[in-house]
Chain A
Amino acid sequence: MTKSQRRRIASVVRYAVLSLWALVAFFPIYWMISTSFKPDNQWFSWPPVYFPDPPTLSNYLNVWLGAGQYDVTQYAISSQKPLVSLWNSTVIATTSTFLAVLFGAVLAYGVSRYRILSEVRMFQLLMLRMIPPIVVVAPLSLYYSALGLLDSRTGLILVYFLTTLPYAVWMTKSFIDEVPREIEQAAEILGASRWRTVFEIVLPLIRSGLVATFLFILILTWSEYLLALIITKTQVTTLPIELSKYQGTTEGRVYGRQAALAVGITVPLMIVGLIIRKHLARGFSFGMVRR
């Protein structure tokens, strides 16, 4: 076997393996999307319907806009307010993420330039993320109810801020480390205060890094489930909790509706993730990958 033949076989094998995994990775997503366009007799049929025939928008109209709730009462789920949840999710995720990135970047600046946290402390900070949140949710909810933060946006924002802060610090630090110190020294000689140096020189220099960090953390806060399940009750629900209301509906399986809701939750996340796809490795690698 010549070398070029071997190379061609290797290439074919590679494409075969990658394509197989691409099928595994993409099929569930395809299934979710296609189900969201299926009329109700195809949600749960045998043999499975792979292409919606004919595709319909009724699931979306029903779930998101409440259209046709009464003429198909069989599948209507009362008290659904996905648009309200969408608004809550947006406010909670963006606010908590913004706070995490802002405070995270300032902390990271201190770590990078003044070593306010040693390397051990930086790793210990990660513990906030590594200890399962389930072990603190019960006292947290009692504490919150004492403070009147239960079932409020503020409460959820605060706890998301806390749990995503470690990622924010680590990720922004990796960007700040790349800024040459000479610039700050020049600023100091020119008489800029330390805070001005941080906010008007260093942070603007890592703008794109801050955006990447923001979007990275947005993925985490947008999809969080457990804390939202405990802390929010009736007033404030986020989208993942809204979706989980479809669990055990007495009317039977309403796959098309839940798929339409799921697509609405997932699509923003995918867009965000694809925008920052080049930065994802940095968010996860905690200084273990050098460029």
Chain B
Amino acid sequence: MPSSHRAISRQRAICRFKLTLLLPLIALFACVLVPVLLLQLYFSFHQWTVYLGSWWDADYVGFDMFESVFTDPRFGWAVVRSLAFATGSTIGCFVCGFALAYLMAKPFRGHAVYYIIFILPMLTVPVVVSYTAEMMLYRNGPANGVISALTGLDVQVSWLTDPNIALLTVALLEIWNWTPFSFIIMLAGLAAIPKEPIEAAEILGASRWRIFWEVQVPLLRPVIMLALVLRFLEAMAEFPKTWALFQGGPGSATETLPVYIFMTTWQYFEISKGAAMSYVVMMLMIVIVLAAIHLLRREKRSLDAMYASEAVEA
């Protein structure tokens, strides 16, 4: 039958079209990502540093590199630092961003000006953030000066030289830099939640506090998850600010995972150890990311379901 012929050829054409749409992505993966990951795997099983001749005839060493990574206390500490840094800065960004978004959820005079000022920190280049921090945070510098003036105390914090404070300094910079991210998506989230449940709760006489915790927060859960997950992952990968400001110092106070991998590879030239370390970190991150994707998809499905049921009611 001609019509079914047509249908089949149409199906084929659509199939071809879909394939062509996907082709650039597949090509990019095959030409860049796959070779790079294979090279990484090669190096983590073959001992090579730049002093040891050509990389392609390096000695096979089995799991030695991984062993040296897992027995390296500096690596362990880097994991701890990275997790602490990411957790702290994520919570900091989220709390500040959500608080600001909550205060700005309703329009008021000056709203636009505050909005613009609040997103500016996100629009600075990370390297610029660290250099500006360096200009401000020295012991007799303007940061301590302003804090002293505001609190009336004589604040003299050694932000840049005290090993106990250095990681906190980077975390504060990260919070300064990325609070706008949480702020923007929480503000959009607050604007998008339906008004009716809140009005209903108000009519029933619920307090602001209860409305916040029992109506708004549950409705915002997908956005909250997103704000926390994305920020955490990006904070785990934070390199430019930490490196430009501290290069892992003072001592090893700011040696987070990215910094330690960078030092191992590009300062000690232990390419193989760096590769093995990278694989370990990549696996760790893939586990975290898969968990994150699972969470985000669950939230997105519940959101889709909620909007679908709303559409049916309307």
Contact = CB atoms under 8 A, between A and B. Distances in A.
Contact of A22 (B40, B117, B133, B226): B117
A14 B266 CA distance: 49
Contacts of A109: 21
Question: Considering residues B32, B35, B43, B118, which has the most beta carbons from chain A within 10 angstroms of its beta carbon?
Answer: B32
A43 B136 CA distance: 10
B128 A262 contact: yes
A142 interface: yes
Contact of B40 (A119, A139, A274): A139
Contacts of A110: 18, 21-22
B185 A138 contact: no
B236 interface: yes
B192 A114 contact: no
B83 interface: no
Interface stretch (A45-53, A57-65, A73-81, A175-183): A45-53
Contacts of A50: 142
A285 interface: yes
Nearest to B100: A21
A152 interface: no
A28 B278 contact: no
A266 B123 contact: yes
B52 interface: no
B68 interface: no
Interface in B37-76: 37, 39-40, 43, 55
Nearest to A284: B185
Interface string B15-42: 0011001101100100011011101100
Contacts of B142: 27, 31, 48, 50
Interface stretch (B161-169, B196-204, B209-217, B284-292): B284-292
Contacts of A86: none
Question: Considering residues A109, A134, A274, A291, which has the most beta carbons from chain B within 10 angstroms of its beta carbon?
Answer: A134
Contact of B300 (A11, A32, A240, A287): A287
A265 B237 CA distance: 23
Contacts of B124: 29, 266, 269-270
B185 A285 contact: yes
Contact of B244 (A25, A127, A247): A247
A150 B54 CA distance: 18
Contact of B55 (A32, A142, A284): A142
Given A110-B21, A124-B293, A135-B261, A277 B43 contact: no
Contact of B114 (A11, A22, A44): A22
A132 B117 contact: no
Interface in B229-243: 230, 233-234, 236-237, 239-240
A87 interface: no
B268 interface: no
Question: Considering residues A46, A103, A119, A131, which has the most beta carbons from chain B within 10 angstroms of its beta carbon?
Answer: A131
B188 A262 contact: no
Nearest to A119: B297
B77 to A, nearest CB: 17
Nearest to B223: A288
A26 B114 CA distance: 10
B184 A127 contact: no
Judged by DSSP, the binding face of A is: helix
A109 B20 CA distance: 12
A239 B187 CA distance: 32
Contact of B128 (A32, A128, A255, A272): A32
A30 to B, nearest CB: 10
Contact of B132 (A28, A114, A158, A269): A28
A92 B159 CA distance: 35
Contact of B141 (A48, A120, A244): A48
A221 B4 CA distance: 49
A46 B116 CA distance: 32
Contacts of A246: 131
A18 B114 contact: yes
B36 A22 contact: no
Nearest to B194: A290
Nearest to A281: B188
B126 to A, nearest CB: 6
Given A110-B22, A128-B33, 15 more contacts: A11-B108, A21-B118, A48-B145, A114-B14, A131-B285, A132-B257, A138-B40, A138-B274, A162-B32, A240-B127, A270-B120, A273-B120, A281-B185, A284-B184, A288-B303
Interface of A: 11, 14-15, 17-18, 21-22, 24-29, 31-32, 35, 43-44, 46-48, 50, 103, 106-107, 109-110, 114, 116-117, 119-120, 123-124, 126-128, 130-140, 142-143, 158-159, 161-162, 165, 194, 219, 222-223, 225-226, 230, 239-240, 243-244, 246-247, 255, 258-259, 262, 265-266, 269-270, 272-274, 277, 280-282, 284-291
